[in-house]
C-alpha cells in the first residue's frame, strides 16, 4: 500500500503515522498512511486510487475534534495542508481548506477586517471550521462564509453557496455528507478598526487563559450546550470536576473540558466522555451531544 501510494506521486506520504502526533488530545493508535496531496489534481488522483481499491480514508484537519481509538486505523488519512492559498480583496477573503484558522483570524484583524474575531482561539483549519460550523462568542462560520468550493463524491469540483451549506449550531451540510470535501472557502468580512479588533481578541485570549485548561492537551468543549443551559454547569453540578479515568481528567478550571493530564489513552478519554453523557442523562434527563467525533 505504501509503495503504491508513493508511486502515485501525489504528495508526501508518511507510513504508519501515530495519531497522537496529529490530534490535539495527543491520543490514538497508528494509521496505514498519511498523505499530503500537492493540489486538487493530486487529491482527485489519490481518491480515485483509494475508491477503486476500497481503501478507507478520512480527511484530517488540525485533529482538534477527532478522537481515534487506540487500535490501528485501517485506512489512509489525508491532510490538506498544501491547500493554503490566501487572497484578500477588500473585504472578500478566499482561502484554502488547509489554512490555519487562528492564523487567518489574526491576519485579517491586523488588516482592520472584522467578523472573524470569534475564531482567534479555535485550533482548526478553514476546512474543519466550515465542516463543523465552528463558532464562539455567539458567532460562527455560517455568518461569514458566502461560498465553498467542494469536491463531490463523484470527484467533481462544485461551488456551494451559504444557503446550500445548511449551517446550524456546530453543524453543516458537509458534516452530514462527509463524502463532500471542502477545498476552499470565500468569507465576507467587514471594515473595522484594527486596534479595536485586536483589543477584543486580546481580551478574549486573557479570558480563555483564566477559564480554560490551555496548558494540557484537549479538544476544547466536549459537549454542545443544551438549549438554555450550559454543559459545563451540569457536569460541575454532578461533582465531576477533577474526576478521571486513567490519564484523562475533567478539568478543574472548566468542567466541559477533558484534558490529557497523565499519558491518557484514547479509551480513557472516550470512556470518560461516555460516562459523563450517561450520568447527565440519568440525573437530568438531558441528552448531551458530543462535539467531538470518535473515529475507529
pLDDT digits (tens, 9 = 90+) for 6-36: 999 999 999 999 999 999 999 999 999 999 9
Residues serving a catalytic function are 170, 221, 291
The pLDDT score that the predictor gives to residue 214 is: 94
Grade residue 236 by pLDDT with cuts at 50, 70 and 90: very high
Nearest-angstrom CA–CA distance, 202 and 57: 38
- DSSP label at residue 143: G
Q: Which of 28, 61, 79 corresponds to the end of one domain?
A: 79
Mean pLDDT of 219-239: 95
pLDDT tens column, 104-152: 999 999 999 999 999 999 999 999 999 999 999 999 999 999 999 999 9
Contact criterion met (CB below 8 Å) for 264 and 246: yes
Edge-first strand listing for the sheet containing 258-260: 244-245, 248-250, 258-260
Buried b (16+ CB within 10 A) or exposed e, 226-247: beeeebbebbbebebbebbbbe
Q: Which of 79, 94, 125 corresponds to the end of one domain?
A: 79
Same domain? 71 vs 136:
no
Same domain? 97 vs 152:
yes
The pLDDT score that the predictor gives to residue 37 is: 98
The pLDDT score that the predictor gives to residue 185 is: 98
In-domain check, residue 120: yes
Same domain? 167 vs 217:
no
Q: Is 237 left (phi over 0), alpha (psi -120 to 50) or beta?
A: alpha
In-domain check, residue 42: yes
Same domain? 185 vs 254:
no
The pLDDT score that the predictor gives to residue 72 is: 97
In-domain check, residue 266: yes
Cβ-proximal residues to 43 (8 Å cutoff; 6+ apart), any chain: 10, 37, 78, 80, 151, 181, 183
The pLDDT score that the predictor gives to residue 48 is: 98
The pLDDT score that the predictor gives to residue 222 is: 97
In-domain check, residue 203: no
- DSSP label at residue 288: P
How many domains in the chain? 3
CATH number, domain containing residue 222: 3.90.78.10
In-domain check, residue 208: no
Q: Is 145 left (phi over 0), alpha (psi -120 to 50) or beta?
A: beta
Same domain? 97 vs 174:
yes
The pLDDT score that the predictor gives to residue 176 is: 95
Same domain? 122 vs 61:
no
Same domain? 222 vs 279:
yes
In-domain check, residue 202: no
The pLDDT score that the predictor gives to residue 247 is: 98
Whole-model pTM: value is: 0.93
Structural domain span for residue 46? 2-79
Nearest-angstrom CA–CA distance, 185 and 262: 38
Q: Which of 61, 79, 97 corresponds to the end of one domain?
A: 79
Nearest-angstrom CA–CA distance, 255 and 257: 5
Q: What is the mean pLDDT of the chain?
A: 97
Same domain? 185 vs 250:
no
CATH number, domain containing residue 74: 3.30.43.10
How would DSSP label each residue in 11-32? EEEEES-BGGGTSTT----BEE
CATH number, domain containing residue 115: 3.30.465.10
In-domain check, residue 205: no
Grade residue 188 by pLDDT with cuts at 50, 70 and 90: very high
Q: What are phi and psi of 204, to 5 degrees?
A: -70, -35
Same domain? 104 vs 187:
yes
Same domain? 187 vs 219:
no
Mean pLDDT of 48-55: 97
- At 165, list the grid cell: 451549506
Amino acid at each position: 500500500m505504501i509503495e503504491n501510494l508513493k508511486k502515485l506521486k501525489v504528495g508526501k506520504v508518511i507510513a504508519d503515522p501515530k495519531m497522537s502526533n496529529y490530534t490535539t488530545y495527543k491520543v490514538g493508535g497508528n494509521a496505514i498512511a498519511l498523505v499530503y496531496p500537492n493540489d486538487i489534481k493530486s487529491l482527485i488522483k489519490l481518491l480515485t486510487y483509494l475508491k477503486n481499491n476500497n481503501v478507507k480514508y478520512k480527511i484530517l484537519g488540525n485533529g482538534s475534534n477527532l478522537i481515534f481509538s487506540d487500535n490501528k486505523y485501517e485506512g489512509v488519512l489525508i491532510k490538506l495542508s498544501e491547500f493554503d492559498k490566501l487572497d484578500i480583496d477588500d473585504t472578500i477573503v478566499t482561502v484554502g481548506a488547509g489554512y490555519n484558522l487562528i492564523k487567518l483570524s489574526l491576519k485579517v484583524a491586523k488588516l482592520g477586517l472584522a467578523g472573524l474575531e470569534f475564531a482567534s482561539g479555535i485550533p482548526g483549519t478553514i476546512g474543519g471550521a466550515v465542516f463543523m460550523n465552528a463558532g464562539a462568542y455567539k458567532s460562527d462560520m455560517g455568518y461569514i462564509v458566502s461560498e465553498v468550493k467542494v469536491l463531490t463524491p463523484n470527484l467533481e469540483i462544485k461551488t456551494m453557496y451559504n444557503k446550500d451549506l445548511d449551517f446550524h449550531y456546530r453543524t453543516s451540510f458537509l458534516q452530514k455528507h462527509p463524502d463532500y470535501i471542502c477545498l476552499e472557502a470565500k468569507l465576507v468580512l467587514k471594515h473595522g478598526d484594527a486596534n479595536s479588533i485586536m483589543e477584543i481578541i486580546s481580551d478574549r485570549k486573557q479570558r480563555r487563559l483564566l477559564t480554560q485548561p490551555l496548558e494540557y492537551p484537549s479538544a476544547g468543549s466536549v459537549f454542545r450546550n443544551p438549549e438554555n443551559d450550559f454543559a459545563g454547569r451540569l457536569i460541575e453540578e454532578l461533582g465531576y470536576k477533577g474526576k478521571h479515568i486513567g490519564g484523562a481528567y475533567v478539568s478543574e478550571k472548566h468542567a466541559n473540558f477533558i484534558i490529557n493530564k497523565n499519558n491518557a489513552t484514547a479509551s480513557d478519554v472516550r470512556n470518560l466522555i461516555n460516562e459523563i453523557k450517561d450520568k447527565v442523562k440519568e440525573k437530568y434527563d438531558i441528552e448531551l451531544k458530543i462535539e467531538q467525533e470518535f473515529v475507529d
